[in-house]
Structure 1
Amino acid sequence: MGNESPGQRAEDLPERELLQIYLQDHLSGATGLLQRLTMMRDHDDDLPVAAEIAQLEQEVREDRQTLVDVIRTLGLRPSPAKLLLARAGEMAGRLKLNGRVRRRSPLTPLLELEVVQAGISGKSGLWRSLAVHAGALGLDAEEFRALEERALRQLDDVVAAHRRLTRGAFG
């Protein structure tokens, strides 16, 4: 990992540093996920799932802010380099061949929802992990359990939206 010195293994890092790496990585993922959803909202407002995308974007924005607050509460700091890489990676992910030269392919929102699904799945794991360790960190486990439930609901919503888009994607 980027924070290790030569010859130092991850298991030798202090637990606090491991927690910081873990939270920074999730913040980077949340940043990329939010960018993807914002782009989808801006470009896919004619889709039958546009309202769901807009709602999900708002909730992911709130979840990302919660994570920033947790990082600050724990006296940790976000990694500007990881956030920059997340933004660059999300933008690079937009550059894909889609079988169309001048307009978006009907496959694009389908693939984008699959990326969103993976991000939300990871987020549910974050909240679950924080719930397990909340007591030791001086945090509220119930808050993280509620956030995990919300992520699981979001995941169900994305899967349902994906199903609706799949019906028209190949026609």
Structure 2
Amino acid sequence: MHRKALNIYLNDHLAGATSGVELCRRIARTHRSSARAGELRALAEDIAQDRQTLLEVMDSLEITPHRYKIYVGWAAEKVARLKPNGRVLRRSGLSTLIELETLRLGIQGKHHLWRALRHVAPESDHFDTSRLQGLMDRATNQMETVDSLHDTAARAVLSRGGG
């Protein structure tokens, strides 16, 4: 196991996970009265649990989370809110599309993280390959949920009959 590379890799993913949790919670809050609010809340909770799992993995490997990367991940999500959306004071439906696309990319990255850790599993007593497979399956389900939410939002925002 190349500890230095693993340290950097896991801390980079922790920064991304921090941003992803913030983004998904904000999407869920923004759409709390939508027909799919329950799915969004569950997705936000799952993503927060995955971040906690990453912290547990890091702890089991005695890898210290770099606070500055956590703060950068948190701040990146806040800065991303400043994107121009064609409106000055209100959210645009386009914001939802872009946010869901960003979230999807983050979940895909997380899937690759769990997949990459399978290569470390034989060198460590800290990884259960069946648990890693479960985390990959959960990420796949999360991507499917986000894809479905994105399809719904795209219909509503981009099609003539949608909104």
The answer on 1:130 being equivalent to 2:117 is: yes
The correspondence of residues 4-153 of structure 1 with structure 2, limited to 5 A, is: 15-138=2-125, 139-153=127-141
How many residues of Structure 1 are paired with residues of Structure 2 in the alignment?
A: 158
Any gaps of 5 or more consecutive residues in structure 1? 1-13
Contact 1:131-1:144 at 8 Å conserved across structures:
yes
Q: How far is 1:39 from its partner?
A: 1.1
Per-residue Cα deviation, 1:66-97 (whole angstroms, up to 9, x for no partner): 00000000011101111111111111000011
Q: How far is 1:47 from its partner?
A: 3.2
Alpha-carbon RMSD across the aligned residues, in angstroms, is 1.3
Q: Match of 1:152, SS?
A: helix
Give the counterpart letter for 1:63 in structure 2: D
Q: Match of 1:166, SS?
A: helix
The answer on 1:166 being equivalent to 2:158 is: no
Per-residue Cα deviation, 1:121-164 (whole angstroms, up to 9, x for no partner): 00000011112321212121110011001101111111011001
Give the counterpart letter for 1:80 in structure 2: R
> What is the TM-score with the length of structure 2 in the denominator?
0.92
Tell me how far apart the structure 1 counterparts of residues 4 and 109 of structure 2 sit (CA, whole Å): 20
Any gaps of 5 or more consecutive residues in structure 2? none
Q: How far is 1:15 from its partner?
A: 1.5
Contact 1:131-1:142 at 8 Å conserved across structures:
no
Identity of aligned residues (%): 37
Structure 2 residue aligned with 1:4: none
Q: Match of 2:89, SS?
A: coil
Q: Match of 2:148, SS?
A: helix
Q: Match of 1:132, SS?
A: coil
Contact 1:37-1:57 at 8 Å conserved across structures:
yes
> What is the TM-score with the length of structure 1 in the denominator?
0.88
Tell me how far apart the structure 2 counterparts of residues 42 and 160 of structure 1 sit (CA, whole Å): 18
